[in-house]
Structure 1
Amino acid sequence: MTLGAVHVAGAGMIRFGKHPREVTLETMGANAARDAMNDAGVTSADIEAMYVGHVFGGPVAGQRIGARIGLAGKPVSNHENYCSSGATALREAWIAVGAGLYDLVLVIGVEKMTDRIKGGVQPDPGDLDAASGFIFAAGHALSARRYMSDYGATREQIAMVAVKNHAHSVMNPYAHYQKPVALEEVLTARPIAEPLGLLDCSPISDGAAAVIVASPAGLRKLGIATAPRIAGCALVSGTVQSGLGDVNEEDVSRRAGEEIYRLSALGAEDIDFVEMHDCFTIAEIVRLEGLGLLPRGEGARLTEAGHTSLGGSMPVNPSGGLLSRGHPVGATGVAQICELFWQLTGRAGGRQVENASTGLAYCKGGSVSGTDGASVTTVVMTR
């Protein structure tokens, strides 16, 4: 089936961070939704359906938010794909609008974590990897050690991902952290899983983000002449692995890249900037390589050289990424789309990527024992 053109007509976010207990998930989601609706000039009567990504929001979180913003009675669906939840909600909206079912829909990603999660997020009790201690931090620490051994990368080069992304988030008013960090601060931060320290890890955050997804007819209804187009939304799952394998092979990222390049009819060479799921510093590097955006084994060196910084050849995480913008897991995928929208409409302020015309967003959500991941989403948007 060939889908029709699908656009993003407006975006809204609340600042990510640690919000007081009385600021509820419903409040955050509703505030982000209102901002996106105001940005697009859309009313609740115009919205035909709502798609909501969340992980810890409890039953029918989307309906609880919808009742606050005048969408009670409209079709509402809730999507849980761990860190890919918000992007999965976007994908379902993209399919529905592209298929002609709706002209204007609302997509929300939302999570309230800081009053529910202590330390790192907990795996499912039946997770066999977690039972043996192979939790997210341990897995990425192993990835970093193997990467340094295989490619001669240094600890300092990997730490530069955090330095870069914190520098970017200084210019993002929605970011959890809005101050730079020095390389020495990253290297001497409290150890989490050797060689990674606290500043190599994304924080536990609260937050919400929302976008209005529109068909060409929906844009005309709003009086919007042009808006960034969603060229494709891909979703893949991890495959069953056998043997020891290579922890940094990133086959799931390769397949996610191949799928988004197929859907969008664009290639890695067409991407101007990236919003990458940098849950840990090393993750940004190996996933960029898996997507074919950087040569394998060169990502750490290129990060140090400024290739992925604002002003470099291919800026990565101009928003600050998960490491500094924050990572409310259900909200992250939609926050990335907000950043793509702002960049492609020239509204990113001091973090604006010069001449940005095509952006890619990547989220990897969760793990399944015996596979190379749970869910990976990739989204390409064009100006």
Structure 2
Amino acid sequence: MTLAPAHVAGAGMIRFGKYPADVTLERMAVGAARAALADAAADLTRIDALYVGHVFGGPVAGQRIAAQLGLDGRPVSNHENYCASGATALREAWVALAAGLHDVVLVIGVEKMTDRVSGGVRPDPGDLDAAVGYVMAAGHGLSARRYMADHGATREQIAAVAVKNHAHSVHNPFAQYQRPVTLAEVLAARPIAEPLGLLDCSPISDGAAAMVLCSPAGLRRLGLSAPVPRMLGCALVSGGVRPGTGDVNEEDVSRRAAEEAWKLTGIGPEDVDVVEMHDCFTIAEIVRMEGLGLIPRGEGGRWTESGATSLGGRLPVNPSGGLLSRGHPVGATGVAQAVELTWQLRGTAGGRQVEGARTGLAYCKGGTVNGTDGGSVTTLVMAR
């Protein structure tokens, strides 16, 4: 089934980073929302509804944001799917527009992590994995070890993901980190979960991103006309139960998310020009690109090392700098990826522009559930 696309009238975000306590979640969200509204040349009276993705924002965070923004009284929905929360909010907004329920909506992804999260991110305390001490970094360390053993990949090839993404982030004024790192720095960084070190891991971050999405009628309401970037669709799948130990890098959940994306949008992997990938850890970029079918199984390390996934390469991945260097305020990430794709498709991404980009894909994977191959996965497809 193919639904009508959502047109992107406006996109904006604040710089990701670590903010003091007086910079609240609501304040960050309002800043990103105002940037998106200004980009769309839209005032608040044009907005029909608000969709907010967050994880640690507390009860009715979206309504608190709406009150400060001046959208009180409008329909507000809050969406929590861990790292896929922002992308899930985008999906629900797209569905509402396609159904004719609204014509102009505002979507915000936001998170204030620095005063809510310390140390490694864990599953829910009631999950069996958490009970035995599992943390996300440990799982990805296991993934890296298994990948190296199965495919002959080297530690240097995995570390090259961090080198590449930090090189890209130099050109992104909204990135938490805007300096390059060398391969030697990545390899010498403080160990976190063997073989991964500090620079193989995305940071604790604060930030917000926002988009104004419209139906064709909504575009006319705003006085805009096509062509503008379009959100063709967003697939959402959950992890399936896995009997036994299985293959930690099988990524069946990513394969299913890709299949759903192609089915929803009519786009195939051969059409993708740029990818915003959920690189919470260096190895995650590699195995998830392979799971989507965008890189042959076992080749991701070599592709990265060769420059195939760098700007100017065969398939640029994370021109924004990705989670590793743009930062990863979990509820904001999915919307930030869509904002980056919007800029890429407009041709306004500056020094990180992917030349001739016409179609982009953003992938988020949120959370773990014991006995399954993941929590939630979104695959968002956008086009010029």
Q: TM-score, normalised by structure 1?
A: 0.99
Give 3-state SS (helix, strand or coil) of 2:339's partner: helix
CA distance in 1, matches of 2:3, 2:42: 23
User: 1:108-144: CA deviations, max 9, x gaps?
Assistant: 0000001111112233211211222332111100100
Normalised by the length of structure 2, the TM-score is 0.99
- Correspondence 1:203-242 to 2 at 5 A: 203-225=203-225, 226-242=227-243
Shift of 1:166: 0.3
1: CA distance, partners of 2:55 / 2:155: 33
Residue identity opposite 1:277 in structure 2: H
Aligned to 1:13: 13
- Indicate the SS of the match to 1:68: helix
Determine the structure 1 residue equivalent to 2:300: 299
Structure 2: how far apart are the matches of 1:63 and 1:332? 20
Mean Cα deviation higher: 27-36 or 2-11: 2-11
How far does the alpha carbon of each residue in 1:65-103 deviate from its partner, in whole angstroms, 9 at most, with x for none?
Answer: 111121000000000000000000000000000111111
Shift of 1:222: 1.6
- Residue 373 of structure 2 corresponds to 372
| 1:256-275 superposed matches below 5 A | 256-275=257-276
**What residue identity is the alignment partner of 2:79?**
H
Give the Å deviation of 1:293: 0.2
- Partners of 2:126 and 2:42 in 1: CA distance: 44
Contact 2:5 2:233 in 1 (8 A): no
Task: Report the 3-state secondary structure (helix = DSSP H, G, I; strand = E; otherwise coil) of the residue aligned with 2:9.
Answer: strand
Letter in structure 2 aligned against 1:95: V
- Overall identity of the aligned pairs, in %: 75
Shift of 1:2: 5.1
Equivalent position amino acid for 1:298 in 2: E
2:196 corresponds to 1:186: no
Cα deviation digits, residues 319-346 of structure 1 (max 9, x gap) = 0000000000000000000001000001
Q: Which residue of 2 aligns with 1:353?
A: 354
Aligned to 2:99: 99
C-alpha separation between the residues in 2 aligned to 1:331 and 1:11?
A: 13
Kindly indicate whether the alpha-carbon contact (under 8 Å) linking 2:46 and 2:222 is maintained by their aligned counterparts in 1.
Answer: no
Q: Which amino acid aligns with 2:18?
A: K
Q: Which position in structure 2 is the counterpart of 1:75? A: 75
SS for the counterpart of 1:52 is strand
TM-aligned CA deviation for residue 5 of structure 1:
3.1
Number of residue equivalences: 383
Q: Which residue of 1 aligns with 2:316?
A: 315
Q: Return the offset for 1:224.
A: 1.8
Contact persistence 2:16–2:206 (CA under 8 A)? yes
Equivalent pair of 2:105/2:213 in contact (CA under 8 Å): yes
- For structure 2, the 5+ residue unaligned runs are none
Query: 1:357: how far off?
Result: 0.1
In 2, distance between residues paired with 1:217 and 1:227? 14
SS at match of 2:370: coil
Contact conserved, 1:5 with 1:216, CA < 8 A, in 2?
no
3-state DSSP of counterpart to 1:45: helix
Q: What does residue range 24-103 of structure 1 map to in structure 2 within 5 Å? A: 24-103=24-103
Output the amino acid matched with 1:206.
D
Query: 1:339 corresponds to which letter in structure 2?
Result: E
SS in 1 for 2:68: coil
1:120–1:204 contact (8 Å) kept in structure 2: no
CA contact (8 A) 1:4 1:100 kept: no
Q: For residue 296 of structure 2, what is the amino acid of its counterpart?
A: P
Q: CA–CA distance in 2 between the matches of 1:4 and 1:45? A: 24
- Which amino acid is the alignment partner of residue 15 of structure 1? R
**Alignment check: 8 A CA contact 1:109 1:330 kept:** yes
Report runs of 4+ in structure 1 exceeding 6 Å deviation. none
5+ residue gaps in structure 1? none
1:372 positional shift: 0.3
CA distance in 2, matches of 1:314, 1:220: 35
CA distance in 2: counterparts of 1:122 and 1:245, whole angstroms:
21
